[in-house]
Amino acid sequence: MTRTAEIVAIGSELLTPERTDTNSLWLTAKLNEAGVEVMLKTVVGDDEARLEETIRDALKRSDIVITTGGLGPTEDDITRQVSARAVGRELIYHDELEARLRERFRCWGHEMPEINKRQAFIIDGAEILPNPNGSAVGMMLGLGGSLLVVLPGPPRENQPMYDNFVAAKVRQLAGEVIVKRRVLRVSGLGESAVDEVIAPVYRQYESVQTSILFNKSEIEVHLTARADSAAAADAVLDELAKQIAEVLGMAVFAMNGETLEEVVGTILLENEKTLAVAESCTGGLIGMRLTDVAGSSAYFLEGAITYSNEAKMRALNVPEQTLIDHGAVSSQTAEAMAAGVRKRSGADYGISVTGIAGPDGGTGEKPVGTVFIGYADAAETRSVKFTLPGDRYMVRWRSSQAALDYLRRRMLKDASIKQ
Amino acid sequence: MTRTAEIVAIGSELLTPERTDTNSLWLTAKLNEAGVEVMLKTVVGDDEARLEETIRDALKRSDIVITTGGLGPTEDDITRQVSARAVGRELIYHDELEARLRERFRCWGHEMPEINKRQAFIIDGAEILPNPNGSAVGMMLGLGGSLLVVLPGPPRENQPMYDNFVAAKVRQLAGEVIVKRRVLRVSGLGESAVDEVIAPVYRQYESVQTSILFNKSEIEVHLTARADSAAAADAVLDELAKQIAEVLGMAVFAMNGETLEEVVGTILLENEKTLAVAESCTGGLIGMRLTDVAGSSAYFLEGAITYSNEAKMRALNVPEQTLIDHGAVSSQTAEAMAAGVRKRSGADYGISVTGIAGPDGGTGEKPVGTVFIGYADAAETRSVKFTLPGDRYMVRWRSSQAALDYLRRRMLKDASIKQ
């Protein structure tokens, strides 16, 4: 049986527009590694009633409840008394904690302010979790089958505390479960289309949790396997991932969470091929994505951001007549751009984008979102047209995705490329 | 009486170590502006029991409950049926919603998959919130004194939906507290330096809450004023913002939250000037940022992404001897690139970046993060050197910021530019 956890982040500052709880990400990774699933996260401020209800409800629903924050010495720091109330226990004053606090302050060359005395109160029966990096100790309390863990807010205080005192207890509760994850990435298909195609496959694997996520312009298939050993978890993931890749075919571009620019880069690198890019409406986004990959200078030669017609003619040798006859947003211009940048740079492959990102510039014949992708290699020059939904940001992002994916698909058809 | 709100983010992916809910930050800002205080935030997965309890409890405690996510067409998307159950109402099927969905899919050139039919179900009595940017409509339902708002997950869908259909209702509930916010943006100074300079100013304004935030490569000064009227709130914000701008001088680039690329674009547009960009280590990021602004084709002529030395020579006329004598990462090369792209494009201004983004390529003399920015106008060519901290992503981002800010500062010194 999978153990479940909830994480409660405490502090009014975490309810402002500027801050968010990030402790829970680190804790989630630790809990997941131990085979524990995080079912719910809460952020609550200095509101005693809401905090008490949150902790009480969480303990009813989940095996492990971890709180972070609210253990400081001020009146706003209500975690100590409220968590005691939520579990129906007294706070007990600990002389030796106060003595240790006074000693800490003396070492820093200060007298301990009287308000810090609050930090010497501990829930009756709780284990005290020492804090070498701050004045607030943590608490851990077993309650029947469940576990309440109360940690301070700062990561450099709560992370060593978890590693040193909580991790072993969590492992003991969770037992010997191994959890492994894998992410496949898919382009050119929608969320529901992917689900329709792969559901018959993943439904046969009950030990793997499959979820399908939409991420800007691509679909992610997340697989999470639980098994008794790492080898068994990997084996079932390998098998399911392979079957999913088979039914989806070329649409799967990454078997291990790689980005599209990484995948394109790897194909180029392994085949010692080079690339140049000509961008109009994406304005540098494709170059930016390609060069985001460390080591991309091995295959990315250059990019031309040709926003004006004049730049398209001068920098890429797009014939003026092509622009007059077909317009800047046309398959003919896209092809001339791809061939032009390839020739100019001496690269093996040239790709190009020209389109209408909006919000203005659309026409009846070529509405906002009309995008042409051009491709050129030694043997041929081609193009493809898309009509992409969304605002300016999304049209540009999806154009960059379409261009990189078109390049990937064309390269995989090129006889000189190893599969 | 201050109205209270809770925000519920729905989706198992938000409970993984890699993702976090960020919708709540934007929504919190909007709610705060209306004088509504966010008391609690929850992230919950595809667990029906927990989600139902969360929505039900939130509606008991708070005046406004906003959920985001879980409105997609797949089985994991449980928000529709669970929120209906939490408020004890039926889901009603809407023919006209299905017809509209089918139409949307047809426009994209697809047949609607049958599972998308789920998206035509609406809680009985709820107002339907249209979604021009996606297939999931939202819902809004008054329940006695409280309000349940069900929004889709993607920010590009839920933000316009909130602005267009929810904001007015929230204002009506919250009554006549006027809260206004203003964001000033500052470049070239650190967080504590900004605080030191402006604290004596903002401390004199007790009705304005001032917070200083660090945002990738710039500092934001957030001012929040509460007053009885919009005019009174604006007046105090105007006064404080003006005083802050005076003490910070040229470091303040935006008085109303504009991005640096918007500010640069406005200067160019208002002065009918044009710009061309030559990028090495930023690989297209500067062009991408500049062309992210709608209407940028009026001033952005072209960009050259010259990653290789050969491209720098061929496309920008950087002399081979300069590259041999000083290296590709040098003030001389940066200046030759800026002058070269300006000349080639016929633009009024040229800017360039060359540097070492890492993780490899650093030397003792030129460590990772060494970046030269070049600038050229009709009268002069200059450059400036930065040593920027951070990983590849941050060095590239900060380089783009440094280049745009250098351009802004140089243009403001140009005699032909209106202040």
Give this complex's ipTM: 0.78
Final residue of a structural domain among B139, B174, B209: B174
Contact between A15 and B21 using a beta-carbon 8 Å cutoff: no
User: Is residue B88 located within the same domain as residue B145?
Assistant: yes
Final residue of a structural domain among A254, A272, A293: A254
- What pLDDT, in 10s, does the model give residues B245-287? 999 999 999 999 999 999 999 999 999 999 999 999 999 999 9
Contact between B44 and A44 using a beta-carbon 8 Å cutoff: no
Is residue B419, in this structure, part of any structural domain at all? no
CATH number, domain of B245, equals 3.30.70.2860
Give the residue, A67 or B208, on which the prediction is more confident.
A67
Q: Is B200 helix (H, G, I), strand (E, B) or coil?
A: helix
Question: Which regions in chain B score pLDDT beneath 70?
Answer: 1, 419
What is the rounded average pLDDT of the residues A289-302? Answer: 96
Is residue A71, in this structure, part of any structural domain at all? yes
Is residue A124, in this structure, part of any structural domain at all? yes
User: Is residue B157 located within the same domain as residue B225?
Assistant: no
Q: Identify the residue among A21, A40, A344, A401 best suited for mutation to test binding to B, counting B beta carbons within 10 A and taking the highest.
A: A40
CA distances (Å), origin A343, targets A128, A151, A411, B245: 70, 61, 18, 50
Is residue A419, in this structure, part of any structural domain at all? no
For residue A305, the chain B residues in CB contact (below 8 A) are 277, 284, 287, 291, 302-305
User: Is residue B137 located within the same domain as residue B8?
Assistant: yes
Residue-level pLDDT at A375 = 98
Residue-level pLDDT at B347 = 97
For residue A28, the chain B residues in CB contact (below 8 A) are 15-17
User: Would you call A196 an interface residue with chain B, using a CB distance cutoff of 8 Å?
Assistant: yes
User: Is residue A141 located within the same domain as residue A188?
Assistant: no
CATH number, domain of A375, equals 3.90.950.20
Q: Is B266 helix (H, G, I), strand (E, B) or coil?
A: helix
Closest CA to B35 of B77, B84, B85, B1: B1
Q: Is A162 helix (H, G, I), strand (E, B) or coil?
A: helix
Closest CA to B381 of B402, B351, B412: B351
Strand runs labelled E in A17-173: 37-44, 64-68, 91-93, 121-123, 127-129, 138-143, 146-151
- What pLDDT, in 10s, does the model give residues A245-266? 999 999 999 999 999 999 999 9
CATH number, domain of A20, equals 3.40.980.10
What are the residues whose beta carbons fall under 8 Å from the beta carbon of B357, sequence distance 6 or more? B281, B282, B368, B392, B395, B396, B399
Residue-level pLDDT at B96 = 92
Residue-level pLDDT at B150 = 98
Cα–Cα distance for residue pair B169/B163, rounded to 1 Å: 10
User: Is residue B274 located within the same domain as residue B401?
Assistant: yes
Cα–Cα distance for residue pair A221/A210, rounded to 1 Å: 7
| Measured torsion, CA atoms of residues A118, A119, A123, A124, in degrees rounded to the nearest 10 | -80
**Residue numbers of the domain that contains A15:** 4-174
User: Would you call B88 an interface residue with chain A, using a CB distance cutoff of 8 Å?
Assistant: no
Is residue A418, in this structure, part of any structural domain at all? no
Cα–Cα distance for residue pair A357/A97, rounded to 1 Å: 63
User: Would you call A313 an interface residue with chain B, using a CB distance cutoff of 8 Å?
Assistant: no
Phi, psi of B108 (to 5 degrees): -80, 0
Q: For all residues of chain A together, what is the average pLDDT?
A: 93
Roughly what angle, to the nearest 10 degrees, separates helices A23-33 and A167-174? 40
User: Is residue B165 located within the same domain as residue B240?
Assistant: no
* Strand A138-143 relative to strand A127-129, pairing: antiparallel
Q: Identify the residue among A41, A264, A290, A394 best suited for mutation to test binding to B, counting B beta carbons within 10 A and taking the highest.
A: A41
Q: Taking CB atoms and an 8 Å cut-off, how many pairs form between chains A and B?
A: 253
User: Is residue B265 located within the same domain as residue B409?
Assistant: yes
Residue-level pLDDT at A164 = 96
Is residue B38, in this structure, part of any structural domain at all? yes
Window B:260-289, CB contacts with A under 8 Å? 277, 279, 281-288
C-alpha triplet B380, B384, B390: angle, nearest 5°: 150
What are the residues whose beta carbons fall under 8 Å from the beta carbon of A405, sequence distance 6 or more? A187, A188, A253, A260
User: Is residue A276 located within the same domain as residue A249?
Assistant: no
Strand order in the sheet with B218-227: B208-215, B218-227, B178-186, B252-254
Is residue A218, in this structure, part of any structural domain at all? yes
Window B:338-367, CB contacts with A under 8 Å? 344-346, 358-360
Residue-level pLDDT at B1 = 66
Give the dihedral sign, CA A235/A240/A243/A249.
Answer: negative
User: Is residue B333 located within the same domain as residue B387?
Assistant: yes
Closest CA to B408 of B261, B247, B217, B301: B261
Contact between B45 and A40 using a beta-carbon 8 Å cutoff: yes
Is residue B303, in this structure, part of any structural domain at all? yes
- Token output for B24: 């709540």
- Give A135's pLDDT tier (boundaries 50, 70, 90): confident
- Give A229's pLDDT tier (boundaries 50, 70, 90): confident
Q: Is A347 helix (H, G, I), strand (E, B) or coil?
A: coil
Domain count, chain A: 3
Final residue of a structural domain among A254, A274, A296: A254
User: Is residue B332 located within the same domain as residue B361?
Assistant: yes
User: Is residue B156 located within the same domain as residue B15?
Assistant: yes
Residue-level pLDDT at B419 = 67
- What pLDDT, in 10s, does the model give residues B311-320? 999 999 999 9
User: Would you call B296 an interface residue with chain A, using a CB distance cutoff of 8 Å?
Assistant: yes
User: Is residue A50 located within the same domain as residue A73?
Assistant: yes
Contact between A360 and B294 using a beta-carbon 8 Å cutoff: yes
